[in-house]
Structure 1
């Protein structure tokens, strides 16, 4: 695919993801849009969907191969989709990302920024903090009862 077309599709995909347009996202992916390719501002489709809590779009992008831990933006302007969903308190989006393997302990900004739990706490979302803390437990402890 030519670079110009790839950029055009990326912009359209980020916009559709931002507005939760699941059908349009599916069409664009079918037309060859890369689920992990950022738009001209550096925003990834997954990040755009996470900010707006568009869980069905997140699910579609992840199934199409979007990296759940990819950073969005240029420099220190955005971050990971999980951090965005945590900050805004989008529980369903957080669960989709965790189910896809997003690392609940991963700090954004190449490790120098906040973790998803810190963003959830700063945003006043104790239910999201609890989801993230539950996901961060080692598997052996998660299933253990005392």
Structure 2
């Protein structure tokens, strides 16, 4: 697929994710949109879906090859999809990520930051924290960085 066409599909994919339009996301993925292609800021599609709490969209992205543990690097969008969903208490999205193999112990910032459980506990999002604990999550062992 030509670079220009892939860029256009990627742009449309991010728009569909932002609007929570799972049907359009599914269509764009079928047309060849790359579920791992970052936007110009470095944000991954799965991170965006996770922070928005779009569980169905997250599932579609992972079923199309998006890795549940790929860290996003966009300004204000740094971290793992699981940390993003946990920080906002998006329990359904946390469940989808875990069901697709997200590591509940993976700390963001390449292992130096908070764990998903740290984010859920400090939300506070007790239901999300319980789901993470049941999946084997534990808080980071070092002192929490400032938010």
TM over 0.5: yes
Aligned length: 137
CA shift for structure 1 position 74: 4.2
- Equivalent residues of 2:83, 2:115 under 8 A apart: yes
In 2, distance between residues paired with 1:76 and 1:110? 16
Q: Secondary structure at the match of 1:136?
A: coil
- Equivalent residues of 1:107, 1:113 under 8 A apart: yes
- Name the structure 1 match of 2:60: 60
Matched, 1:82 2:55: no
- Which residues of structure 1 form unaligned runs of 5+? 138-146
Deviations 1:87-111 (A, max 9, x none): 0000100000000000000011111
Matched, 1:93 2:93: yes
In 1, distance between residues paired with 2:75 and 2:54? 25
Matched, 1:118 2:118: yes
Matches within 5 A, 1:118-137: 118-136=118-136
1:59–1:124 distance in 2 versus 1, CA, 3 Å: same
Deviations 1:49-80 (A, max 9, x none): 11111111111111111100011124885111
TM-score (norm 2): 0.87
In 2, distance between residues paired with 1:72 and 1:11? 16
CA shift for structure 1 position 129: 1.1
In 2, distance between residues paired with 1:81 and 1:19? 18
TM-score (norm 1): 0.87
